[in-house]
């Protein structure tokens, strides 16, 4: 409800003040804004909302104990806490953290990175906002350079990042039915045309919202296409290897000089520390650091100081492999069991193959109401999901599929998830399938 009040206040204020195009774009109602408002409301004390809509990582007791241990170590050491709290860092990030991370990535993947290839930002969302607007939009020559998402649906947080909304385009995925009640999206390479106006490609891997993991061959093809055009390929690796490594199928990490790899500490269980990581060419890192100085002055240091010893010792790899990934694998098994029991054979549904991250993407072919109306009905019954239509943006043609999908997070407690999907099943039975 607060979200709508805020929108009304903005509209009233606009009557007295002429907003810029920047303000109009960022203050309008957006999918990511609605999602974060739902998340904030759900965590209020005493809230009974079954929150399946956000991207907040689960509270894993053993991982939380690790962060508590590290904070106690910081307090016990002479100046480590002061280092994290009381000094500005370079706009590129804390050099000791960058050096440690470059060493880890080189050891794991043989990438030959230097400190000039890594920058830290106040969250990967901020990093991508700056990168998108560095790479796409109206150029000095007046030509519009476009950002292409080769597979739609894609992450909800990308949809409103570009200040020039016309500079974003997407290609619908192809759909493969893999087994009863399951399907998988693929990049439609037969239809993928990278025009002269395209200045960058972007994918997430694992993909938020669907849990899709682009195959190694798909990534190699996208890499070749972008390299041949001399444009960057952005790979959002927030859930991938080497940390937090929430991957349930084999997938090799990938980087080259034309690749911009986005990483984060959030899905390790540290979303509030807003620590984004970009691995890219020296030129991209230099441009991003310059923007960082203007937008943020400096980066939040706490996450870098907190996690650096785990990178030095490579404990971060063991934590990801032995604690984080098995935790979500167990949650996934319980979530699939709850979904299949609740849905039964009463209506047609498909689940995207859950290959990574911690989301389930549901498709209800022929749903008689839109996914947005289903979201509203569920919210009135205390269940928050995300309507699938928010994840389809930049498409040239209407696609009925865009209004037949929901994203659920299975990070919440299994009993909460089970209660929620029983309500979802009830609402779909009431709505019916055409």
Give the relative orientation of helices 2-16 and 31-42 as an angle to the nearest 10 degrees.
130
Coil, strand, or helix at residue 243?
coil
120 with 260, same domain?
A: yes
Query: What is the CA angle 219-234-25, rounded to 5?
Result: 135
Domain termination residue (choose one: 300, 318, 336): 318
267 with 162, same domain?
A: yes
pLDDT at 1: 47
Interatomic CA distance for residues 49 and 203, integer angstroms: 32
Q: Which of 288, 227, 283 is nearest to 259 (CA)?
A: 227
Tell me the torsion sign for CA atoms 188, 193, 194, 198: negative
pLDDT at 48: 72
In a domain, 178, yes or no: yes
Instruction: Give the CATH number for residue 206.
Output: 3.40.640.10
Q: Consecutive 10-residue runs of the chain (434 residues): their mean pLDDT?
A: 52 61 69 56 61 93 98 91 91 97 98 98 95 94 94 95 90 98 98 96 97 97 97 98 97 96 97 97 97 92 97 98 98 98 94 98 97 96 96 95 98 96 96 83
Non-local CB neighbours of 417 within 8 Å, separated by 6+ positions = 50, 52, 334, 335, 338, 408, 410
1: its two tokens: 């409800």
In a domain, 68, yes or no: no
Q: What is the pLDDT of residues 189-223, one digit of tens each?
A: 999 999 999 999 999 999 999 999 999 999 999 99
What is the span of the domain harbouring residue 217?
Answer: 87-318
Interatomic CA distance for residues 295 and 277, integer angstroms: 16
Per the rule left: phi > 0, alpha: psi between -120 and 50, beta: everything else, 307 is: alpha
pLDDT at 7: 55
pLDDT at 344: 94
196 with 298, same domain?
A: yes
In a domain, 367, yes or no: yes
133 with 182, same domain?
A: yes
Q: What is the pLDDT of residues 51-110, one digit of tens each?
A: 999 889 999 999 999 999 999 999 998 889 998 999 999 999 999 999 999 999 999 999
Distance of CA 415 to the CA centre of its chain: 25
300: its two tokens: 């939040």
Domain termination residue (choose one: 318, 338, 369): 318
Distance of CA 302 to the CA centre of its chain: 22
Residues pairing with 51 in the sheet: 384
335 with 368, same domain?
A: yes
pLDDT at 46: 47
306 with 242, same domain?
A: yes
> Which run of H or E residues covers position 405?
strand 405-409
Number of domains in the chain: 2
159: its two tokens: 């949809």
């Amino acid at each position: 409800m607060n979200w709508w009040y805020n929108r009304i206040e903005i509209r009233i204020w606009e009557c007295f003040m002429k907003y810029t195009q920047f303000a109009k774009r960022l203050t309008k109602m957006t999918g990511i804004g609605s999602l974060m408002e739902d998340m904030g409301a759900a965590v209020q004390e005493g809230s009974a909302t079954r929150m399946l809509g956000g991207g907040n990582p689960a509270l894993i007791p053993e991982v939380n104990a690790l962060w508590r241990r590290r904070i106690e170590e910081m307090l016990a050491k002479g100046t480590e806490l002061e280092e994290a709290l009381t000094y500005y860092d370079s706009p590129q990030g804390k050099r000791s953290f960058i050096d440690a991370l470059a060493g880890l990535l080189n050891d794991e993947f043989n990438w030959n990175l230097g400190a000039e290839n890594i920058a830290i930002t106040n969250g990967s969302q901020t990093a991508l906002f700056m990168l998108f607007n560095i790479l796409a939009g109206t150029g000095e020559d007046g030509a519009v350079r476009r950002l292409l998402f080769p597979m739609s649906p894609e992450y909800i947080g990308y949809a409103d990042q570009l200040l020039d909304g016309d500079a974003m385009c997407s290609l619908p995925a192809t759909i493969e039915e893999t087994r009863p009640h399951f399907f998988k999206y693929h990049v439609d390479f037969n239809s993928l045309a990278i025009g002269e106006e395209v200045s960058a490609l972007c994918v997430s891997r694992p993909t938020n919202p669907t849990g899709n993991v682009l195959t190694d061959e798909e990534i190699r093809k996208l890499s070749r296409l972008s390299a041949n055009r001399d444009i960057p390929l952005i790979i959002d690796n927030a859930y991938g290897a080497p940390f937090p490594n929430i991957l349930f199928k084999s997938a090799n990490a990938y980087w080259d000089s034309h690749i911009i790899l986005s990483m984060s500490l959030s899905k390790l269980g540290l979303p509030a520390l807003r620590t984004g990581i970009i691995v890219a060419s020296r030129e991209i890192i230099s441009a991003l650091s310059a923007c960082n100085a203007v937008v943020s002055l400096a980066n939040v240091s706490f996450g870098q100081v907190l996690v650096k010893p785990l990178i030095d010792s490579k404990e971060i790899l063991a934590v990801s492999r032995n604690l984080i990934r098995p935790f979500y694998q167990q949650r996934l098994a319980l979530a699939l069991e709850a979904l299949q029991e609740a849905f039964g054979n009463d209506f047609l549904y498909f689940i995207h193959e859950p290959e990574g991250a911690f989301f389930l993407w549901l498709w209800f072919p022929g749903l008689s109401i839109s996914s947005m109306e289903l979201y509203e009905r569920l919210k009135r019954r205390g269940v928050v999901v995300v309507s699938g239509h928010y994840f389809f943006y930049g498409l040239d043609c209407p696609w009925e599929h865009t209004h037949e999908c929901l994203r659920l997070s299975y990070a919440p407690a299994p009993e909460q998830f089970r209660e929620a999907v029983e309500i979802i099943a009830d609402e779909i039975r009431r709505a019916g399938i055409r």
